[in-house]
Amino acid sequence: MNKIKHIITLILVVAMHKGYAQHIRFVTQGTIEFEKRINTFALIKKQMELWGSDNIFGKTFVENYQKNNPQFKLQKSKLTFANNKTLFTPIEDAVASNSFLDLIQFQQNNTILTKVNEGTSTILKKVYEQNYLINDSTRKINWKITDEFRDIAGYNCRRANALIMDSVYVVAFYTDEIAVSGGPEGFSGLPGMILGVALPYEHVTWFATSVSDQPITDDKLKAPTKGKAVNHKQLYDILKSAFKDWGKTANENYKWFTL
């Protein structure tokens, strides 16, 4: 009788362990689709303050923009990952904008291949009509992990906060169910994949809308190759020189080109 009880107990333990294991995912390769959400009204208002309240010409365009456009601009991108590499690729808008108020904040200018284990990245960055190819180390972010959780694209994600570039407050949500320390744009460095990023004071977010764990071949993770070769310091000097006569808007443009 005792032998039968032991056998039944063993079967139950194995079944419970199997059922529990089925709910734990450790994804190492796949594709994540992101949606970038931009509060255009808030950013245009901020831009107007930089231009000056007496700019009647600008005010007219702002009023027309708010009447004829939605408050939030949505953009798509994808992150492909495998073998501790990630490739972030923006998806171009179906309809190109020719608005006077098509600010740099409304654009997606980066294609980024990151080698996670090496801590390096190759970034194809478009600065107006010039393409730059940046080969350098990845940004080091001093994250502070919290006890707040939320579900994103079916994954349990934990919140972390950080301050980058001395003044940009970042909120990120990552999951350790995806065993790659990556994320959208240049955000990484957490113990898992970042599926959500919010810059509350910059009025922009990136959140995953779907995750596919299908196998990724090496040809899907190729670094961009075309552009003027620079490192981060060289691009910093180029931008500072280019924006030196831009007045109050110089720092804002520099910030968005280097996020």
Is residue 16 included in any domain, yes or no? Answer: no
Angstrom distance (rounded) from CA 27 to CA 179: 6
Is residue 3 included in any domain, yes or no? Answer: no
Express each pLDDT in 194-247 by its tens digit.
999 999 999 999 999 999 999 999 999 999 999 999 999 999 999 989 888 888
Q: Tell me: pLDDT of 7 over 60.
A: no
Which structural domain, as residue segments, surrounds residue 104? 29-258
pTM to 2 decimals? 0.86
Give the pLDDT score at 100: 53
Express each pLDDT in 17-41 by its tens digit.
444 344 456 899 999 999 999 999 9
Tally of domains in the chain: 1
Mean pLDDT over 77-105 rounds to 83
Q: Tell me, what CATH number does 52's domain have?
A: 2.50.20
Is residue 13 included in any domain, yes or no? Answer: no
Mean pLDDT over 5-11 rounds to 46
Q: Say what the alpha-carbon torsion angle 180, 181, 187, 193 is, to the nearest 10 degrees.
A: 50
Is residue 22 included in any domain, yes or no? Answer: no
Q: What is the mean pLDDT of the chain?
A: 87
Q: Tell me: pLDDT of 13 over 50.
A: no
Is residue 9 included in any domain, yes or no? Answer: no
Is residue 20 included in any domain, yes or no? Answer: no
Is residue 11 included in any domain, yes or no? Answer: no
Angstrom distance (rounded) from CA 192 to CA 160: 12
